[in-house]
Structure 1
């Protein structure tokens, strides 16, 4: 009986020792795997960040470019960088792979404003200086015809603004046209002519669609969707590397929220109360109704294509806001018909450009660049007049990053990760 008990105790102790030993072996093995995975992830993260930094120093390209970089020349740390123009901004996708593990990041980047893009107002040279009326306030450098600013009554409104008419340097305008990026304009014209690349994705993947949402990664080729496509009518959310297009007018669905995508059509209307973050590229008109919110980085781009079009315009109506870029362009340098209309109580944080005129009755935290400011009232049309307007370039966010479509510093800055 005693021997049997001793044998039982030995068996139990042996079992416990075996369990403890196997546990230690398993833990050691698992720990080594975790350490190896952590080292691999740390290495890939380091290489990914190095790839992002490298992408920001690559020369600009106006087409989709894919480049493989060997970071240390040892064939073990390769980074794939894919970059392209995305509307008025630029996009890059960086990926690294090791032992069947891949890390990737896509981001939108642009450029800090410079020179005229950093001014509150930049007008073409003429014999008409700037006139201020009502409760008008201007802060920042101004390029003005003849370097002149005065106060003047308009429609019974006397000047009631600050004693210092312009809180900033006043520089005389020159006859030199403000340079804009012809390559970005050419790409926008290509979209308006529906010159889409044959390599682009034609249909969304099954995993892109979740219930009533469509999210398409920027690591994939561009997805083109016709606005009249039945699939779009069933969606309430659209995000990613997507271009929505139509050869006819687009009246955006108020309930279709768009994020980071591009809308291309002859004309686009944003309905009352619409919210989104997108770029619209048109040739005839862009109308933003009241109470619309277009968050940063959004852009409204009007490229006049039809010379016969008598009234190409971008219009931002009452109590609507845009953070980003408004750009109205015509190849005809003396085409004053290209028009940006910023209605009363509208708000822009960013940059507003027109080869023609701008009627500004709202608030701009940023700057205006145009040939002339055209003030339209119920009784008159006045050239280079501002009435009850606030333009303050110093209130534009210090983190604001624009596009090299307009004068910009030669240094890329990340706008957002996608």
Structure 2
């Protein structure tokens, strides 16, 4: 700027500038601050929610992985029980699957009638999974046949509508067609879908250890150990039902007199023992229980799943149904002071169905051989083992073993004669598994999952 220049000054312009500088500032309303705070709170809540959701997903993923690992370990524990033999000196084994002390399973095996109950547990630091199941044995190839008749040096005579489907182990004297009670043999072949093989003089032996654990409940000696833990049947509290989980200890009910079972559902790990008679009415509800008595009777129309063991007689009425895996058996008591005045017998009336095992173990004398009678239209889906006599007029869809056939008619008594009986292995379910009582197989199989309601709740 040249020397001597004078800056022009306008007083009005300067005054306007001063007034604009002194103008009051503009303020926001208080609601705007509240709105800002609200937005901040929402953002904070959403951020916290996302963090919590992330944490939940992490915990859920960890829980799911832990449950999947436990399920795998539980399946491994179940398979170990099915493939292993019972351990002497105890029924519980605790194992680490990978020797790391973390993945631990417990294997429990307990006897239940002619089967075993398996309890498999898989542990983690916070969770436990369990399986309870009834174990059977898968039949081997050599145990899959229609008939095994002990060789007593006499032939098997068949008449009427008798049919044998599958391999048959027969006496060396063979098999022949016969004419009995005005009925000739109605078929062409004597054996269908199978071959004839030679049998031995004795039936395949039963498992003596399993027979030994059944016999004490049919002895009336007051010194027997099981009676110390028994409850009085008639002293039991009246209730709508009686149920005992297999994961718990068994419940044993005993009566010195007879027992009549009607109405009240009895399920699970329950043993009923009587010194005289157990009578089961048609409206009784029995599931997986054990019955022991000298005499057992099932009324016409009964339906249930159980194992019943008698010493002298076991009578099944008309139209009864026993679900798989049921067992009806006569058990010999090896005691010199016990004298049998009549022939031990299992009688199954017409139109009844047994899914499982019917057996007699009662060698006795020739005059008192135990007898199993299967009436017309009676069906056994499974196995029949007669260590004595078998009168077969019904159908066995499975395997029949007997020492001797018998046939009682109004006019005569025939031995090793079958009139109208059917023995058909080809109609046995491929999923059928037997009892270790018959020393069947070595590979175990789950017959039934137990304590279902408990497992579903857990």
Answering whether residue 81 of structure 2 is matched by residue 55 of structure 1, we say: yes
Residue pair 1:289, 1:320 contacting (<8 A) in 2 also: yes
1:386 to 418, 427, 431: 418
SS of corresponding position for 1:355:
strand
1:239 to 258, 267, 280: 267
Query: How many Å apart are 1:238 and its aligned residue?
Result: 1.5
1:4 to 30, 34, 40: 30
Query: How many Å apart are 1:2 and its aligned residue?
Result: 2.5
Question: Number of matched residues?
Answer: 413
Q: TM-score, normalised by structure 1?
A: 0.91
Task: Flag the 1:397–1:98 CA change in 2: closer, same or farther, 3 A.
Answer: same
Aligned-pair Cα RMSD in Å: 2.7
Residue pair 1:301, 1:327 contacting (<8 A) in 2 also: yes
CA distance in structure 2 between the partners assigned to 1:16 and 1:203 by the alignment:
69
Answering whether residue 95 of structure 2 is matched by residue 69 of structure 1, we say: yes
Alignment deviations for residues 284-334 of structure 1 (CA, whole Å, 9 cap, x no partner): 111000000001100012113344242101111010110100110124475
Tell me the equivalent position of 2:9.
none
1:25 to 51, 55, 71: 51
Query: How many Å apart are 1:160 and its aligned residue?
Result: 1.1
Q: TM-score, normalised by structure 2?
A: 0.84
CA distance in structure 1 between the partners assigned to 2:262 and 2:148 by the alignment:
45
SS of corresponding position for 1:113:
coil
Higher mean C-alpha displacement, 191-200 vs 33-42? 191-200
Answering whether residue 435 of structure 2 is matched by residue 403 of structure 1, we say: yes
Which consecutive residues of structure 2, in runs of 5 or more, have no partner in the other structure? 1-26, 451-458
Report 1 or 2 for greater relative contact order, CA contacts < 8 Å, sequence distance ≥ 6. 1
SS of corresponding position for 2:328:
strand
Residue pair 1:284, 1:309 contacting (<8 A) in 2 also: no
Tell me the equivalent position of 2:343.
311
SS of corresponding position for 2:37:
helix
Q: Which has the larger radius of gyration?
A: 2
CA distance in structure 2 between the partners assigned to 1:185 and 1:20 by the alignment:
70
CA distance in structure 2 between the partners assigned to 1:230 and 1:378 by the alignment:
34
Task: Flag the 1:283–1:242 CA change in 2: closer, same or farther, 3 A.
Answer: same
SS of corresponding position for 1:146:
coil
SS of corresponding position for 1:127:
coil
Answering whether residue 353 of structure 2 is matched by residue 321 of structure 1, we say: yes
Higher mean C-alpha displacement, 171-180 vs 374-383? 171-180
Answering whether residue 155 of structure 2 is matched by residue 129 of structure 1, we say: yes
CA distance in structure 1 between the partners assigned to 2:51 and 2:263 by the alignment:
53
1:256 to 261, 276, 284: 284
Tell me the equivalent position of 1:165.
190
Tell me the equivalent position of 1:182.
208
